[in-house]
Amino acid sequence: MAFITTPDGVQIRYQEFGSGRPLVLAHGFSASLDMWWPQVDALSQGHRLIVWDARGHGASSAPRDRAAYSMPGMAADLRCLLEGIDAVEDAVIGGMSFGGQIALQYTVDHPADVRALILSDSTTRGDTPPRGEVPLMFQDDYGLEGAFLAMDSRPDLTSQLGALQMPALILYGEYDPMIAAGIDRVASGLPNRRLVLMRYCSHGTSGQRPMEWADAVLRFLDDVDAGIDVRGEEAV
């Protein structure tokens, strides 16, 4: 296993596969970089695929202090990782659900360095007020408690979507109640986006139809590289 250490002493695990332009994927809440195994072979054929464990997850450190967790802080962890492995410039940044929130925060913070954005099963916070408490099932796990509160209190980036001019891919499940109310915010806010409906899927499209998910991502990235207009909507 490979690790980098953040300025506040948190160890972040990551793995790399293949070579080429960096393609960076962040996992969902309570998961780890292992969730991407079904797509590793396909996505690493023409890219330098980088997957990583957010703080509090997988083999990365899980600070006990809840204040050590925030969405901007996790985006800063990603920046530290990419700087440490020389993968900042022209990277494709993506993630699933919680990981998509990190990816979007990173892209807002560092738009000039992002070649393209991939949001899977993820949306902005909107005007939903924070719950301010951790569900019972995640209590007594420092990492999941902190990460949940980071999601719960994350900044609403809806108003900043229009400034993101890079190509963006939005994937979402046909039967996903978790983001149904917010998918239009992202779809209407990003000016240069492709919207892909994954049929027969609920939350977690990359795990339910992994090969179709990977194919949609690779077709998008091929179009980006070819300079083809990515805007539009499709169902797969």
The answer, yes or no, to whether residue 56 has pLDDT greater than 90, is: yes
Instruction: Determine the Cα–Cα distance for residues 95 and 35; give it in Å rounded to an integer.
Output: 11
Q: Which residues does 206 contact at the CB level (< 8 Å), separation at least 6?
A: 35, 36, 38, 39, 96, 120, 121, 171, 213, 214
Task: State the average pLDDT over residues 66-79.
Answer: 98
Mean pLDDT in residue range 177-193: 94
Which pLDDT belongs to residue 128?
85
- The CA-atom distances, in angstroms, between 50 and each of 12, 63, 188 are 12, 23, 29
Average pLDDT for 121-143: 92
Helix (H/G/I), strand (E/B), else coil: 143: helix
pLDDT for the residue numbered 147: 98
Q: What is the mean pLDDT of residues 94-111?
A: 98
Helices within the chain (DSSP H only): 37-43, 71-84, 98-109, 142-152, 183-189, 205-208, 210-226
Domain ranges for the chain, please list them.
2-235
How many Å apart are CA 122 and CA 126, to the nearest integer?
12
Three-state DSSP state, 19: coil
pTM: 0.97
Please give the DSSP secondary-structure letter assigned to residue 58.
Answer: T
Class of domain 2-235: alpha beta
Residue written as tokens 């797509």?
39
